[in-house]
Amino acid sequence: MSEQFLAYIDNDSVIHRCDALSKLLWVAIVVVATFLFQTSLSRAVMFITLLFVAIFVARIPLRTIFRVSPLIFGVAFLLGLFHFFVTKGFTPLITIGQITIMKEPVEDGLAFFFRLAIMVMASFMLIWTTDIQELMTGLVHLHMPYRYAFAIFMALRFIPMIQQEVEAVKAAHTIRGRAVKSQFRHRFRLWQRYMFTVIVNGLRKAEGTAMAIESRAFGAYPKRTYVKPFHWTVSGFSLVGIFTALAVFLLVMEHWK
């Protein structure tokens, strides 16, 4: 079974020791700052900083980042390429022979590329470094009804389970039908079977989870106690403060240009 890249990675890094709510606030600050930036240089600095923190501070394995790189870069590249071709240009940037590349399409394409790449990268870092149970207790600490917090917990918990289910079904079909080397039409039909099997197994797990919740009288009381209470951490505040300072610095530098 292949490694799960949409699940929590148990590690003893500084980012892992940050509390869940601070990391959730950190993701929100990064995303908002990315949309406030006016230049691709600021977005590139933010993205490089995220990669640096993921590799050297959070100590996320390079193979994990490499496996999700199609999600981080692939979709962002397609979005940026789309806006590059649909945006009208007025200012020449580079002339290569008889081809003139305009400034506005390049800037627009890079803007959408970095926005999506930063959002996906920050979201993955939250998943990799945060125990979802701590996130649930943190949301309850903010007076969110624990039923809603548990719904978020279950949604995040099912993500790696669905990935594991897809990998298992794919491996089974590969062994039986050599799907990797088959033609496109046959592979498309196999993917239809993947989706049907995954949906059926997902509904079965959801039904079992609902029965387990009901048998334990979940939601019978207005409040619920937790064995592991939530606590704010100094490292969490530091993470939020450092990236807030970075965002403010980049915005000020853009203003003074």
162 band by pLDDT with thresholds 50, 70 and 90: low
Q: How many Cα atoms occupy the beta-carbon half-sphere of 38 within 13 Å?
A: 8
What is the widest separation between alpha-carbon atoms in the chain? Answer: 73
Same domain (yes/no): 82, 179: no
Tell whether 192 and 88 lie within a shared domain.
no
Same domain, 154 and 209: yes
Segment 42-66 mean pLDDT:
93
Please tell me the distance from the alpha carbon of residue 200 to that of residue 218, in angstroms, as a whole number.
25
> pLDDT class for 163, splitting at 50, 70, 90?
low
pLDDT at 173: 64
Q: What is the CA radius of gyration of the chain?
A: 22
What single-letter amino acid sits at 144?
Answer: M
117 and 152 share a domain? no
> In this predicted structure, what is the pLDDT of residue 37?
94
Confidence of residue 18 (pLDDT cuts 50, 70, 90): very high
Average pLDDT over residues 103-120: 90
Maximum mean pLDDT: which of 106-110, 169-173, 175-179, 243-247: 243-247
Rounded CA separation 173/169 (Å): 6
For residue 57, being part of any structural domain is answered with yes
Same domain, 61 and 152: no
The predicted-structure confidence for 170-210, as pLDDT tens digits, reads as follows 676 666 655 555 566 666 666 666 677 777 777 777 777 77
- Asked if 32 and 116 sit in the same domain, the reply is yes
Q: Comparing C-alpha atoms, which of 92, 110, 15, 81 is closest to residue 54?
A: 15
How many CB atoms within 10 Å of residue 80? Answer: 22
Q: Which residues pair with 101 in a beta bridge?
A: 94
Is residue 7 included in any domain, yes or no?
Answer: no
This prediction has a pTM of 0.77
Domain coverage including residue 40: 14-130+232-256
Q: What is the pLDDT of residue 182?
A: 56
Closest residue by Cα to residue 136 from 65, 81, 218, 217:
218
- Which band of pLDDT confidence, cut at 50, 70 and 90, is reported for residue 92? confident
Band (pLDDT 50/70/90 cuts) for residue 68 is confident
CA distance to 21, 27, 145, 193, per residue, from 24 (Å): 5, 5, 18, 36
**From CA 250, how far away is CA 112, in angstroms rounded?**
18
Q: Which of 16-25, 61-70, 221-230 has the highest mean pLDDT?
A: 16-25
Asked if residue 242 belongs to a domain, the reply is yes
Q: Is residue 66 part of a domain?
A: yes
117-126, 174-183, 217-226: least confidently modelled range: 174-183
Shared domain for 22 and 102, answered yes or no, is yes
Residue 25: inside a domain: yes
List 99's β-bridge partners, or say none: 96
Structural domain count, the chain = 2
- Specify whether 89 is located in the same domain as 166: no
| 199 and 242 assigned to the same domain | no
Write a three-state SS string for 187-251. Answer: HHHHHHHHHHHHHHHHHHHHHHHHHHHHHCCCCCCCCCCCCCCCCCCHHHHHHHHHHHHHHHHHH
139 inside domain: no
Helix (H, G, I), strand (E, B) or coil at 182: coil
**Is residue 4 one of the residues assigned to a domain?**
no
pLDDT of residue 160: 67
Task: Report yes or no: 156 and 127 within 8 Å, Cβ to Cβ.
Answer: yes
Q: How far, in Å, CA of 90 to CA of 97, rounded?
A: 18
The pLDDT value given to residue 1 = 41
Provide the pLDDT for residue 2: 46
Considering the domain architecture, whether residues 110 and 34 belong to the same structural domain is answered as yes
* Domain assignment of residue 137, yes or no: no
Query: 118 and 44 share a domain?
Result: yes
Q: What is the rounded CA–CA span in Å between residue 72 and residue 5? A: 13
